Amino acid sequence: MTDEDADPVMEATYRALCSHGYASLTMQDIADETDLSKAALHYHYDSKHGLLVSFLDYLYAEFTGRVRDPGGDGPTERLERFIEDVLVPPEPDEDERVAFGTAMLELKAQAPYDEDVRERMERFDRFLHGQARALVADGIAAGEFRAVDPDDTARFLVTALDGAGTKRVSVGRDTDCTRRMLHSYVETYLLAGEGEDAVTASGDGDSEAEPPREVTE
Amino acid sequence: MTDEDADPVMEATYRALCSHGYASLTMQDIADETDLSKAALHYHYDSKHGLLVSFLDYLYAEFTGRVRDPGGDGPTERLERFIEDVLVPPEPDEDERVAFGTAMLELKAQAPYDEDVRERMERFDRFLHGQARALVADGIAAGEFRAVDPDDTARFLVTALDGAGTKRVSVGRDTDCTRRMLHSYVETYLLAGEGEDAVTASGDGDSEAEPPREVTE
């Protein structure tokens, strides 16, 4: 996250989360990433909890600003760009994406026990679902997409994007694999017309687990 | 998790994870769920880390045993039952599913920093992907599914199931919503229907000329 009007404390929180994760993060860790003392930090934020909730709001503003208008010509390109924007966060390299994604996963695990965190997670979810639904609906209206249910399709897409973020952390799946998978979903599932028939086999090589059984005809 | 030949320490670990989560879990918490003293527990497992890695192996055995054969008549029903088996863990109620899912999310967030945890997560992922791919390939071979790429489709399905588990924790999405969404995916995306939208195994020369990659290996 780099922005001209970035908040130094929020940027420090971001760096501290990447370095320390959420569970063991202290106010001192965050202060260490700023010019402020821990006491000065406490003057603005009375607890780690309060600071992290503010950080989630900051993140929401950054995220929605970045993802709101994917640009692109026409619904298909716009949806593909939306997926790309969500899939590839602005972190400069994959290590940092994993580090930050890991901290976010820890924060998601707080949601059942922390109403403030839960509210923020729901807000992200509503925003993403609304964006995806609008993009799918645009594509249907323009005749580029099949007449799928925009609500369910958007829900599915956002769920898969969430799962992709988790897989990045838990099994180290790289972005290329996820991108290809989502691209294939859009091509195969959404596109109206000849795209549906043009399914090309494009396995990714890690097929060591359990070959298909009864496909012998 | 209830099983006649269940391991008492593993069952205690399960209960302790549901009650305390992963981050703050102690060996004492686990001992408190058994008849053993903390010292006796340490005799068998020298650390919380070792115990949790054993727990992940125990969980893998339970999970694969439960999910391996979904039963059902024909590929569509088998795939739907597989999704249901993964989607609805054996926990008796939604509160417990959320509690356990939360602890699992915390454990997934350990993967980048803990090779043992990472290996277990990859093993779950390979198993699920292999199962899903086989079920999709079966459906294509039987002419019930369109000629999608089984590898990508399985990857997408497993990613969405993972995302559904995360959403259960982070935004409290209920199982019915996820079930409906996945059912819609199978119905709309996979099923070879009537008319020009469908690619049936017997009706389209192109799709027969390009079978799923795994089938030929």
Residue A46 lies in a domain: yes
Comparing CB atoms, the residue among A108, A155, A170 nearest residue B169 is: A108
What pLDDT, on the 0 to 100 scale, is given for residue A80? Answer: 94
The enclosing domain of A175 has a CATH number of 1.10.357.10
Distance from CA of A46 to the nearest CA of B (A): 23
Cβ neighbours of A136 in B, within 8 Å? none
Q: What is the dihedral of CA A141, A145, A147, A151, to 10 degrees?
A: -80
Same domain, B147 and B191: yes
Q: In chain B, which residues have pLDDT < 50?
A: 1-2, 195-217
Distance from CA of B205 to the nearest CA of A (A): 11
pLDDT tens per residue across span B13-71: 999 999 998 888 999 999 999 999 999 999 999 899 999 999 999 999 999 999 999 99
Q: In chain A, which residues have pLDDT < 70?
A: 1-5, 193-217
Using the 3D structure, point to which of B67, B94, B123 is the last residue of a domain: B67
Structure ipTM: 0.81
Same domain, B30 and B133: no
Using the 3D structure, point to which of B48, B67, B86 is the last residue of a domain: B67
pLDDT tens per residue across span A164-181: 999 999 998 877 878 888
DSSP assignment of B21-52:
TTTT--HHHHHHTSSS-HHHHHHH-SSHHHHH
- Non-local CB neighbours of A66 within 8 Å, separated by 6+ positions: A85, A90
Q: Which domain holds residue A15?
A: 8-194
Cβ neighbours of B213 in A, within 8 Å? 201, 203, 207
Q: Which of residues 125-184 of A touch B (CB under 8 A)?
A: 125, 146, 148-149, 152, 155-156, 158-164, 166-167, 169-172, 177-178, 180-182, 184
Whose structure tokens read 């277990």?
B120
